[in-house]
Chain A
Amino acid sequence: MELTTTVNDEPRAVEVGGTEVAVDVLRDHLGLTGTKLVCGSGVCGACTILVDGEPVLACLTPATRLRDCAVTTVEGLADGAELHPVQRAFAHHDGLQCGYCTPGFVVDAVAFHDRWRADHGTTEPTREVIAEALAGHLCRCGSYEGVYRAVAAACRGEHDGGAGIVERVDAPAKLTGAAVFTTDVVLPGMLHAVIRRSDVAAGLVGPITFPDGVVGVELLGADRRVRWAGQPIAAVAAESLAEARRVARELDVPLTPESFVLDPDEAVRPGAPLVYATRADRKNAPSAGEGGAPMPVSWDGNRHGPSRTPFLGTVAKRRISSARAAGRRGLVELEVGTTAQLHTAFEPHACVADWSDAQHLRVWLSTQGVDQLRLSIAERFDLDPTQVEVVAEYVGGGFGAKLSLTPEAVGAISLSRLARRPVRLVLDRHEELTATGNRPGSRSRVALLVDEDTQGIRALTVDSDSHGGVAVGGSAASLAMLLYDRTPRLARDVDVVTNAPPGAPFRGPGGPTSAWALESTVDEVAHRFGRDPIELRAQWDGNPKRQALYRWAGALPTWRQRQATGSRAGRYRRGVGVAAGNWIYIVDPDCEVVVSVESGRLVASSATQDMGTGSRTVVARAVAGVFGVDPSQVDVRLGRSHGGTAHGPASGGSRTTVSLWSTAVEAATTLRDRVGTDLSTVPDGATAGAKRGGDRGMRAVPVTMNGVQIGRGFSAALHVTEVEVDTRTGKTRVLRVHGGIAVGRIHAPVLARSQCEGSVIQGIGLALYENQVLDPHTGLTLTANLEDYRIPQLGDTPEIDIHFHEEGWDHVPGGGIGLGEVATVSPAASVGNAIFNATGWRPLTLPVRPDRLLEGLRAGVTR
């Protein structure tokens, strides 16, 4: 039917179908791509719009309900160039990161603000009131603290007038819907593509014949094997998405199912089906680690490894086995487990490829590495790198899963080559939560031997099985070797492969898993000997930065008021836990930044990208500082890589800030020294570039691997967490988290704080809620939607206090390194230790769901 409606004060007429919903009208018919489609099931709120002033979900609201209504989308909140006070508050208090959930949040927050102000004037709403009002929104980056700050400040009337402060230079674009993500790209003549996936966990695929007129490509490996349910088999393109779905569904895929194994325990039994039968197969196994395994390790059936990281490993083993035989009290052993955590980037994996000009391939790609992907694409499709352009102006989160050449890109590019037309391939939420990676589940055994009198550490062994499905690359055990470094020790990492979806790098790969094992055990040692867990760590830890964090944490009132473990009674029990984190320092020495003047404005560019981590702001602040101007006076051009762009770092391994900052400062300084600071007199085209280079004489490892150098020194983190356990219902609430982060000088403090707050929130998800579940009979993912895959909500956010220790990195240009990884390592373990302190029951398996907590407490009662 045809309906008329008013959208952002403009009358519109559209033809809509019976099953269409509002988001289809806005995005597809009217081209208003500010409204984002994320969950498609009314859970996340990203598509929230106002209909006659009331917030509704555009993904579920029938298109017909817009008839003769006044619709307001994120594009319509501002009054011309003047942002709404709520938008200004979000910009000032950094209530956003990647920006993909932001349109829904800010639209609903405007509705709440306007209601609240009408009823309550400038009285500040409590956190509880804000959480209730915005309970229909999720943010995977974990920008919730910023949202609370922004909404409260706007309601206090603090942003009613004035231009306001913009902490994140691209916040206005994200808050008005102007930011163009890959999913928003529409090209003339574009085809729509979908991936046909396996719905069995193992099988051999026969020849596929695409029907006449169907644009299709295979996505299988040379062995034509399917190894997990959800694995891509082929991609097809058609004039519409609905048509592409139909063609994909009806495509004849001759598949002979084979036996498979999903349970890691069964996978290592004799006679279990082999995930990789031949040496050649094993070489193609994907990795859940970052940067690949440095040493080749052996295979035994479905076991890959162990990969050993020893320091006097034989001594460590001997000491522990004799202590075990003697039943020594100084030996503490723990076996713990974790469950796969899904990245859940709100912008799904998405690609629009345009290869209609045979000499030039343009690829819009939601990626963490525009420059790296340009090279990968050129290599894969046999092009010269100068013939390829990769664009990712805005990236709606990645968290590690968008670092490689993934099937949506291969599919879209291949189809565009065939069709000689642009092709769009965007995963739906089900695919995103099935097939794009996860932080592998694990099982780890830790043995920690201490001197019974002094609790001096005598030996440490960590054996960790990584359950990355078809992927290898577990590193949890080896990472546990890097904290308490004054003892004989041995790590053995094993990958137990199964026919489950592959793991992929996820913020601090292996880190939170490692901390869950090691830091739970350290906590157990402290408990057994009645030691203060912070003092005990300080006794063992040789890292001076973490020593500073121990002093900071030990003085916190939250810590000083901590009560003895298990001493609480009653229904609600509070407890405080601590856990330490560690990460390596890597840098991209080839990073380049170019700074120039165009029409009197500063322009800085580099072929890197900003997925919400703030690289655009870091570059702006670096250049602005040199010229003594506000960061908003610098145009930062990122998110584009072609033959003429300066090489920029991938957003992975916490390398972007440390690579970009000093390089941008150097380029800007060279330019300033040449042209001065009165830009109005500078002719267009004045340009200076700089290249980062390594830290002279300060490398930890004298080689460059995969484009990065490992620099000297470890970053450090410490999380002190207070929880409240409801022993009646098994529910754990995290009340307060203090995060100490030692990465040297912080170049964009507000954004850095946001990223560290997000790490805490993702850690709470890992600790308490997030639980990938596969069907044991098919290997299909059951938790492939945001109802069943439960990520933290606004109301689950504790009060978060982030403390930066800024010393200790003077050997690094700019004095500070990245924090994306180190900040994620210890939050989950600190939650577990807090639950132990509260209840006297030690959680061993993540997530600590209500059913596990109730079972644990019941066992504790009968013991």
Chain B
Amino acid sequence: MSGLTILTAYDERPDGLGPGDAVYRAGGTDLQERLRTTGATPHVLDLTGVPGFAGIERAGTGTTIGAGTTVEALTRELAADYPALALTAAGLATPQVRATATIGGNLLQRTRCWYFRHPHLTCLKCGGDSCPARDGRHLYGVAFDTAPCVHPHPSSLAMALLTYAATVTTTQRDGLTIGDLLGDGSDPSRDHLLGDDEVLTRVTLPPPVAGEQGAYYRAISRFEAEWPLVEAVCRVARDDAGTITSCGVAIGGVAPTPLRLKAVEAMLTGSTLDDDVVAAAASAATAGASPLPETGYKVDLVEATVREVLERVRS
């Protein structure tokens, strides 16, 4: 029977555990599935008992979200002042998963590539020396082929957090950007850049922008509860004349990490989001795309989803 420690402090560590002998667990929705597949029984360091691990606190300098805050809590508690993040949270997974999965776990989950998750295959992320999806099957792969691994990063919340320029705090570092946390995919063995004994403790958002609107769209084949083919999020603040004073736009499901589209944001800022601007911005979102043989459709979907969120935020 595998060992278990319910932590009461982040730096607590039972005696005799070497590096790599233990895993940290928050909600467990990613970890438990991987443990079932691999049959591994590492010592579990359960974070849910650490004081302050879950919870949202607002202050004048910004809003901090404990890493153990559930996705469901984000949808409920942030809907008014961080609508883009709340809508993204509401759009992922299923009600039961959202009730259990945490913001920290969502950011740090492993890739959802069907090669990585396969019990009998290896890839760059699990001890292999090449990406079998690249010259294998990659229907759900990247459309911006900028790294050795060709599966997109799975974190929808990371995409939304990019538009806020959110930062994260770990047990060892403070003020990391989402980019610092996830890297750029150039080390294909990793889905994030935390050290072995480093724990993500909280996410910090800047203060809310009054009157800001948000929109999220996930292109999938079915009703709901499906990993996105492509997803997009935007947040927009406008003045009384309807002119955009600030905005954030990002896309996911298409690249080694979610992409913030600063060029698109620049096109939108100062505009009134008329049809021409929306069309031009959606088209510009595909700039630099480099699809794989099976992912050309994702370029169309980038344009479609960006257009969708801009139209939604306008209406």
Give bound CA distance, A750 to B248, whole Å. 52
Q: Are A782 and B32 in contact (CB under 8 A)?
A: no
CB distance from A737 to the nearest CB of B (A): 16
Considering the complex, give the chain B residue whose CB is closest to the CB of A781.
B118
Enumerate A392-430 residues with CB–CB distance to B below 8 Å.
Answer: 430
CB distance from A245 to the nearest CB of B (A): 6
User: Does the CB pair A19–B115 fall under 8 Å?
Assistant: no
Are B39 and A787 touching (Cβ within 8 A)?
A: no
A150-158, A686-694, A712-720, A791-799 - interface stretch: A791-799
The interface stretch among A59-67, A506-514, A527-535, A740-748 is A59-67
Q: How far is the CB of B139 from the nearest CB of chain A, in Å?
A: 7
- CB pair B114 A57 closer than 8 Å: no
B6 touches A64 (CB 8 A): yes
A119 to chain B, nearest CB (A): 15
Q: Are A18 and B43 in contact (CB under 8 A)?
A: yes
Q: Does B108 contact A (CB under 8 A)?
A: no
Q: Which A residues from 25 to 78 make CB contacts under 8 A with B?
A: 40-43, 45, 48, 54-57, 59-62, 64-65
Please determine whether A56 and B99 come into contact, CB atoms closer than 8 angstroms: yes
Interface pair B224/A793, CB less than 8 Å apart: yes
Expressed in whole angstroms, the Cα–Cα distance for A777 and B5 within the complex equals 42
Contact B32 A55 (CB under 8 A): no
A790 sits at the interface (CB 8 A): yes
Contact (Cβ within 8 A) A135 B219: no
Give how many B residues have a beta carbon under 8 Å from the other chain's beta carbons: 62
Chain B residue nearest to A17 in the complex (CB): B1
Which stretch of B54-62, B185-193, B304-312 is in the interface? B304-312
A784–B37 alpha-carbon span in the complex (Å): 11
- What per-residue 1/0 map shows which CB atoms of B218-242 lie under 8 Å from chain A? 0111111111010000000000000
B271 interfacial by beta-carbon distance below 8 Å: no
Binary CB contact string for chain A from 753 to 791 against chain B (1 if under 8 A, 0 otherwise): 000000000000000110001111110101111011010
Chain A, residue nearest B218 (CB) = A729
Q: Known: A57-B96, A136-B96, A777-B136. Contact between A731 and B219, CB under 8 A?
A: yes
Q: Which of A185-193, A454-462, A849-857 contacts B (4 or more CB under 8 A)?
A: A849-857
A64-B46 contact given A136-B97, A729-B305, CB 8 Å threshold = yes
Is A601's beta carbon under 8 Å from chain B? no
A1 on the interface (CB 8 Å rule)? yes
Quote the shortest CB–CB distance from B295 to chain A (angstroms): 8
- Chain A CB within 8 A of B44 CB: yes
Which one of B39, B93, B94, B294 has the greatest number of beta carbons of chain A within 10 Å?
B94
Given contacts A62-B46, A728-B308, A850-B301, contact A785 B221 (CB under 8 A): no
Shortest distance between the CB of A788 and any CB in chain B (Å): 5
Taking the nearest CB of chain A, how far is it from the CB of B113, in angstroms? 9
What B residues does A214 contact at CB under 8 A? none
Among B39, B99, B300, B308, contact of A854 (Cβ-Cβ < 8 Å): B300
> Shortest distance in angstroms between A235's beta carbon and chain B's nearest beta carbon?
17
A773 and B137 alpha carbons, distance in the complex (Å): 8
A15 with B1: in contact, given A729-B219, A780-B120, A787-B227 (CB under 8 Å)? yes
Instruction: Contact check, B117 vs A793: say whether CB atoms are below 8 A apart.
Output: no
Chain A nearest Cβ from B100, distance in angstroms:
6
Report the separation of the CA atoms of residues A729 and B219 in the bound assembly, to the nearest whole angstrom: 7
Pairwise interchain contact A729-B94, C-beta atoms closer than 8 A: no
CB distance from A58 to the nearest CB of B (A): 10
Contact B28 A55 (CB under 8 A): no
Cβ of A132 under 8 Å from chain B: yes
Say how far B8's CB is from chain A's closest CB, in angstroms.
14
Please, what's the 1-or-0 string for B51-73, where 1 marks a CB less than 8 Å from any CB in chain A? 00000000000000000000000
**Least CB separation from A47: chain B residue:** B96
Residues on B with C-beta less than 8 A from A1 are 4, 6
Chain B residue nearest in CB terms to A242 = B39
Judge if A239 is at the interface, Cβ distance under 8 Å. no
Q: Which residues does chain A contribute within 8 Å of B118, judged by CB atoms?
A: 780, 782, 784
Contacts of A790 in B (CB 8 A): 221-222, 226
Judge whether B1 and A55 touch: CB under 8 Å.
no
A626 to B172, CA, bound (A): 78
Q: Is B224's CB under 8 angstroms from A788's CB?
A: no
Asked whether B44 lies within 8 Å of A796 as measured between CB atoms, the reply is no
Complex partner residue of B32 from A60, A108, A769, A778, CB under 8 angstroms: A60
User: Chain B residues near A850 (CB, 8 Å)?
Assistant: 219, 221, 229, 297, 301
In this complex, the member of B96, B222, B223, B304 whose beta carbon has the largest number of chain A beta carbons within 10 angstroms is B96
List A contacts of B300 (CB < 8 A). 730, 854, 858
B245 at the interface (CB under 8 A from A): no
Q: Which of B33-90 contact A (CB under 8 A)?
A: 33, 35-37, 39-44, 46, 48
Is there an interface contact between A17 and B307, defined as CB atoms closer than 8 Å? no
Closest to B223 in A: A795
A858 proximity list for chain B (CB < 8 A): 300
Q: Which residues of A in the span 831-852 have a Cβ within 8 Å of any Cβ on B?
A: 849-851
Name A19's contact: one of B2, B95, B222 (CB within 8 Å).
Answer: B2
| Complex Cα spacing A109 to B297, Å | 37
Tell me the bound Cα distance from A136 to B99 in angstroms.
Answer: 11
Q: Would you call B29 an interface residue if the criterion is a C-beta within 8 Å of the partner chain's C-beta atoms? A: yes
Closest to B48 in A: A65
B132 at the A/B interface (Cβ < 8 Å)? Answer: yes
Cα A20 to Cα B42 with chains together (Å):
11
Q: Contact check: which of A45, A728, A777 meets B94 at CB < 8 Å?
A: A45
Please tell me if the beta carbons of B221 and A731 are within 8 angstroms of each other in the complex: yes
Given A55-B95, A783-B114, A851-B297, check contact A60 B33 (CB 8 Å).
yes
Check if A730 sits within 8 Å of B227, measured CB to CB.
no
Taking CB atoms, residues of chain B closer than 8 Å to A787 are 112, 227
Partner of B99, one of A54, A775, A776, A849: A54
* Measured CA separation A15–B4 after assembly (Å): 12
Q: Does B209 contact A (CB under 8 A)?
A: no
Question: With the chains together, A17 CA to B32 CA distance in Å?
Answer: 13
Residues from chain A with a CB closer than 8 A to the CB of B44 are: 18-19, 62
* B127 at the binding interface (Cβ < 8 Å): no
Tell me if A272 is interfacial: C-beta within 8 Å of chain B.
no
How far is A785 from B37 in the complex, measured between Cα atoms in Å? Answer: 11
Give bound CA distance, A275 to B157, whole Å. 47
Chain B contacts for A785, CB-based, 8 A: 114, 117
Within 8 A of A (CB), among B101-157: 112, 114-115, 117-121, 132, 135-137, 139-140
| B19 contacts the other chain (CB 8 A) | no
Indicate whether A62 sits within 8 Å of B32 (C-beta atoms), given known contacts A42-B94, A135-B223, A793-B223.
yes
Contacts of A139 in B (CB 8 A): none
A131 within 8 A of B: yes
Residues of chain B within 8 A (CB-CB) of A131 are 223-224
Report the bound CA distance from A777 to B28 in whole Å: 32
Contact assessment for A60 and B301 in the assembled complex, using a CB-CB cutoff below 8 Å: no
Assuming the A-B contacts A45-B94, A729-B305, A850-B219, are A56 and B100 also in contact, with contact meaning beta carbons closer than 8 angstroms in the complex? yes
Q: A55-B95, A768-B221, A850-B301 are in contact. Are A61 and B100 (CB under 8 A)?
A: yes
Please tell me if B3 contacts chain A, counting CB pairs below 8 Å.
yes
| Cβ–Cβ < 8 Å partners of B29 in chain A | 42, 57, 60
Q: How far is the CA of A42 from the CA of B105 in the complex (A)?
A: 15
17 contacts between A and B (CB under 8 A): A41-B36, A43-B94, A54-B99, A60-B33, A62-B32, A131-B224, A135-B224, A136-B94, A136-B95, A729-B304, A782-B114, A784-B118, A788-B114, A788-B140, A793-B224, A795-B222, A854-B300
Known: A57-B97, A851-B229. 18 other contacts (CB 8 A): A19-B42, A20-B2, A60-B28, A60-B32, A135-B224, A136-B96, A199-B120, A729-B219, A729-B308, A731-B221, A769-B222, A775-B115, A777-B135, A787-B227, A793-B223, A795-B223, A796-B222, A850-B221
Interface residues of A (CB under 8 A from B): 1, 15-21, 40-43, 45, 48, 54-57, 59-62, 64-65, 108, 131-133, 135-136, 199, 242, 245-246, 249, 430, 728-731, 768-769, 773-778, 780, 782-785, 787-788, 790, 792-796, 849-851, 854-855, 858
The 9 closest A-B pairs by CB, nearest first: A795-B223, A136-B94, A18-B4, A18-B44, A851-B297, A17-B1, A782-B114, A18-B2, A41-B33
